[in-house]
A and B are shown apart, each in its own frame.
Chain A
Amino acid sequence: MSEDIQRKLQTELDGFKNNQKELQKAIATRQQLDGQLNENEIVKKELDLLPADGKVYKSVGPVLIKTDLVEAKQNVGKRMDFINKEVKRVDEQIISLEKRQDSHRETLQKLQHQFEQAQVKAAIHA
């Protein structure tokens, strides 16, 4: 009986740990996206400050390539849209992972309780 619970406890604990790892990964991704979004926002502000005939270059490897200002603005805007979508996706992921984490924690507590009870019972029988 107690071995059975112990096995269940172990499986549950493994699941909990895996979930925790995934959650940490998702949080790291979220922070990275936040940084990217911030950087793009700053670039957009700078591009908006430039005069209409301002010259903009894009670095591609070791060279600077001249770019159209309007095109550059559009590109940054598109990238921000994309990052915003990613942020939403990761946020949802984090919420669902947190929910799963809570349910794991609950089951773990229940199993631990059962395990302790079984041990007490075994001690009485012995």
Chain B
Amino acid sequence: MAQISSVEQPNMKQIDLTTLSVPQLTALKQQLDQELNLFQESLTSLKMAQGKFQNSGETLEKINPESEGKEILVPLTGSMYVPGKLMDTQKVIIDIGTRYYAEKDLDTAKDYFQRKTKFVTEQMEKIQILGLEKSRIRDTIVEILELKLKQKQN
């Protein structure tokens, strides 16, 4: 797929936007709108992932060796619980993706969630920067489009 960027890059041609025709500009704007939408969607899912990792990390803080033997309610379904007792509070089992689960002690588990939260946050920042750049280009295109349409009317 063709890339749109405001900074010059190898394998990319610089185009003076004012030389483009109205249909060409409209097509460009549509493509940018699509990309911006995709960014927005990605940000929403990343935000959800970030929340989940943070939540899991915080939950770990509440588990300590003194929790051993304490009573908990285990959810069997969304609305049904059975009483249980906490055993072995030194270790937790974590979903690491593609249906694999790894057993980790509390410290490495905390480290895991911190790493994941950091990773997701970094990805979000990257997308935000890219989105900002694209929306700037989009604004310029809209400006030129309006200018051209005005010229046509006169």
Q: Is the CB of B99 within 8 A of A58?
A: yes
SS class of chain B's interface: helix, strand, loop or mixed? strand
Q: Is the CB of B98 within 8 A of A57?
A: no
User: Chain B residues near A64 (CB, 8 Å)?
Assistant: 93, 101
Judge if A108 is at the interface, Cβ distance under 8 Å: no
Q: A58 to nearest B CB, angstroms? A: 6
Total A-B pairs in contact (CB under 8 Å)?
Answer: 48
Size band of the interface chain A makes with B: 10 to 19
What are the 7 A-B residue pairs with the smallest beta carbon separation, nearest first?
A55-B103, A57-B101, A46-B96, A43-B97, A59-B99, A43-B98, A39-B97
Q: Is the CB of A57 within 8 A of B97?
A: no
- Could you list 18 A-B pairs, sorted by A, with CB under 8 Å? A40-B97, A40-B98, A42-B96, A42-B97, A43-B98, A43-B100, A46-B102, A54-B103, A56-B100, A56-B103, A57-B93, A57-B101, A57-B102, A58-B101, A60-B99, A72-B100, A76-B98, A79-B98
Give A59-76 as 1s and 0s: 1 = Cβ < 8 Å from B's Cβ atoms. 110001001000010001
Q: A85 to nearest B CB, angstroms? A: 17
User: Chain B residues near A54 (CB, 8 Å)?
Assistant: 102-104
Partner of A50, one of B95, B97, B102: B102
Q: A66 to nearest B CB, angstroms? A: 9
